[in-house]
Amino acid sequence: MEPIKQEQPMNDTISSQLSSYQTFLAQLLAQIADASAETKHALANRDHFKELVNALKWARSQNKDLVQLIQEQVCEVVQSLVDQKGDIVEIGFESDMVKELQILLQTIPLEDVKLVHANALKLFTTYGTFQIKKQMNDMKVPQSIIRNMKSKDPAVVEKTCATITNIIIDYREMTYQSNPIPNPYLPIYKESGVLSALFQDGVQNSASDNIKTIAAFGIGFLHRGSALDPEMKSSVVSTLKKGTKNQELSINYLSMDILCCLAWNNANHEEILKEDFIAELVQILQKKEVQFTPSILDIARILLSQGTIQTQSTVISAIPLPQIRILTRDPYSDIRNSAFLLLSWISSRADMLKFQDMKIQVSGKSAEIRNQLAQGGLLNDICEALKQGRNNVDDKGGVVISALKVAEILFDENEEIFLLILGKGKFIDEISNFYKAIESEQLTFNFISVLQYIDFSLYYEKLVEIKTESFLAGFTNVLNSRDEDVIIITLQFLNPVICTLENGGEFEDKDPALPILQKNGGLKRLIEIFKSENSSDEIKKYSAFIIGSLHKDMKLPIEIRDDLIELLKKMADDEDNLIFLQQSCLALARLAEEKGNTTAILSGDFSSVLRKYISNEDVQTYSRALMLSMVLLLVNFEDSNQKVRNGIPEEVMRRLKEEEAEGVSVLASNIENLLSQSSEKSNLVRR
């Protein structure tokens, strides 16, 4: 018979520390109960996380029965504090709380692991940034806690599984447009047993559908673009397919997203296509459940692009083409985009593969090599795609999108290519023609984004050549789009084009684009965009630049005159945005050529506005401010001379008169002469 073990009494130091932590945690839990987000943030900032970490560190070296409650209460506090995204997660992570929870969850006996322990760690993966989750991966958190997947408590298993899966999944790597890079963590998680734990203790043996689904998410994302192991393929894919019918939207979405990841490898296709899965997706599509439409279209497209002839036949036979064509006019841009790509993979597979290969061919190449490839036929192929696209936008729109993605790479940081895309039948001409042909409601970001890559900086004088009726007609149609991204990119592209005049634009020259845009409805649409309550501040500013520049030496329409000029003047405060400073000042200078606009320009504290422009260190900004001053003095000397005098500090005028930048010193001297003549006249009157 074994002797009875006598429980050792606590020494005074341990007892005192235990009591101190118990009091601290009880008080903290009371403070956190029903506390606002602000209060929780304040508590987190008071070094409380460090004290919580110290409590866990101290408890590790004590009798487990003695400190079990302390450990649970620490986790309760963490649960209460880490309940949303934001600074609290960062503060907790930086305090080493995750490290301590990791140690706790791998060292306390499995039977003692409770929901509160597992959930405290899981919340850092729910609300933490991608950087935090990456660090948790590097800390080997999944490897540390996989043993808890064997807990008899389903709640502990679910939180453990969710922690691992949240660390695995990086939503930035969810790829729908191009074949993904295989997940670099797959071999690591295979070797360490994380993958087998997710499969055996999650998908295969768990009685909980929720646990099965969460585990399948992790396994599926690890296998993005890779073949699932044969022993797990059926269970994982069927779990994900079941997830697409789940009543919880987040599970439904993610199930489809993970199936997209797996569809990039045709070794997974047979399992995905079983049980008429495409027909099931089409049924969802026909119910017009908009939230699932992009994922359904993407799954079908990826299966088509990567599949065998048999897979292609299976998918195409199930797809209702008339309905997909209708979706190219859907209110949602991502649905329109996915519909175009799917239709082109059905109708023009060879072209889609060609541009897919071209994208690989040009990626990572120097500007010199890209220009050689462009001259060697790539630009001709892109232009041909644009020509075919305008004759059959529905079926060829996806080809155009793919061709423009190649163009983006060709144009990126490549100033010299501008000369290759200018001229009759060349890229600028063809894309304008395409924009005339496509219905404005069909436009998406992917038809327009190429404009961001066209660099005019070396060839501003050439922009006059494209400022034609034909060119402007295409972009007028684009401005009728309901897509904010399409409008802002178009306005940003048009801005330097509109603001460019032959020979720089002489004083009192009219802008030749104005009558064109008045005739084709472009000006009316620009004014609608400017006046719309739905337009963002950025859209309003760019539309103001263009409308203002168009009205060089012309009266602005009275219904927008005051508001537009006031907005342009307010942009003098945007000292960190050179585009806004330069373009607003230029637009004001052009408007000032018409005396009817000067009253609004000079209204209020105009001297302060001018002072902000003229005192800026950017040469374009202060040279345009001088131009504005000069025009005002020439057009409306009586009302402007005192305000211009007050707006140009003497020390700034002295500096500008000695400025070496072209034209600046001449302008400054001419302005000073005009103002001095005014002073002499004033003195004569007083005498």
Q: Which residue has the tokens 């008071």?
A: 46
Measured CA to CA, the distance from residue 663 to residue 671 in angstroms comes to 12
Burial class (CB in 10 A: 0-12, 13-18, 19+), 231: exposed
The whole-angstrom separation of Cα 47 and Cα 649 is: 51
Structure confidence at residue 682 as a pLDDT band (50, 70, 90): very low
**Dist. CA 169–CA 158, nearest whole Å:** 16
Is the pLDDT confidence value at 473 over 50?
Answer: yes
- Residue-level pLDDT at 181: 83
- Name, in order, each residue with C-beta under 8 angstroms of 6's C-beta and a sequence gap of 6 or more: none
Query: What CA dihedral angle connects 591, 589, 475 and 531, to 10 degrees?
Result: -50
Q: Which CATH class is domain 482-686?
A: mainly alpha
Residue 176 pLDDT level (bands cut at 50, 70, 90): low
pLDDT at 614 over 70: yes
Examine the pLDDT at 464 and tell me if it is beyond 80.
no
Question: Could you give the CA distance from residue 529 to residue 486 in angstroms, rounded to a whole number?
Answer: 13
Q: What distance in Å separates the CA atoms of residue 87 and residue 45, rounded to the nearest whole number? A: 9
Percentage of residues in the chain having pLDDT higher than 70: 95
Least confident piece of the model among 212-221, 464-473, 537-546: 464-473
**pTM for this entry:** 0.86
Q: Does the pLDDT value for residue 645 go beyond 50?
A: yes
Return the DSSP state at 7.
Answer: P
- Cα separation, 305 vs 357, in Å, equals 13
């922690």: which residue's tokens? Answer: 163
8-state DSSP, 592: T
Least confident of 173-177, 363-367, 514-518, 579-583: 173-177
Give the integer Cα–Cα distance in Å for 500 and 135.
50
Cα separation, 67 vs 263, in Å, equals 50
Burial class (CB in 10 A: 0-12, 13-18, 19+), 552: buried
The token pair that represents 436 in the structure block: 């005339």
Helix pair 87-94, 115-127: axis angle to 10 deg: 120
Overall fold of domain 14-168: Leucine-rich Repeat Variant (1.25.10)
Q: Tell me the pLDDT tens digit for each residue of 621-638.
A: 999 999 999 999 999 999
- 8 Å CB contact between 550 and 523: yes
pLDDT tens per residue, range 107-133: 999 999 999 999 999 999 999 999 999
Looking at residue 685, its pLDDT comes to: 33
Torsion of CA 503, 507, 513, 518, to 10 degrees: -170
Q: Which candidate, 248, 251, 255, places its Cα nearest to that of 277?
A: 255
Q: Among 174-183, 198-207, 329-338, 366-375, where is mean pLDDT lowest?
A: 174-183
Whether 79 and 127 have beta carbons less than 8 Å apart is answered as no
Residue 1 has pLDDT above 70, yes or no: no
**How many Å apart are CA 550 and CA 138, to the nearest integer?**
57
**Residue with structure tokens 């295969």?**
204
Where do you find CATH 1.25.10.10 in the chain? 14-168, 172-319, 482-686
Report whether pLDDT(686) > 50.
Answer: no
Taking only the tens place, the pLDDT of each residue in 263-299 is 999 999 999 999 999 999 999 888 877 788 999 999 9
| Predicted pLDDT at 9 | 56
Fold of 172-319: Leucine-rich Repeat Variant (1.25.10)
Tell me what percent of the residues of the chain surpass a pLDDT of 90.
71
Assigned token pair, 373 = 């490839």
**pLDDT digits over 346-395, tens only?**
999 999 999 999 999 999 999 999 999 999 999 999 999 999 999 999 99
What are 487-530's pLDDT values in tens digits?
999 999 999 888 876 555 566 678 889 999 999 999 999 999 99
| The predicted structure's pLDDT at residue 650 | 87
Average pLDDT, the chain: 90
- Amino acid 424: pLDDT: 84
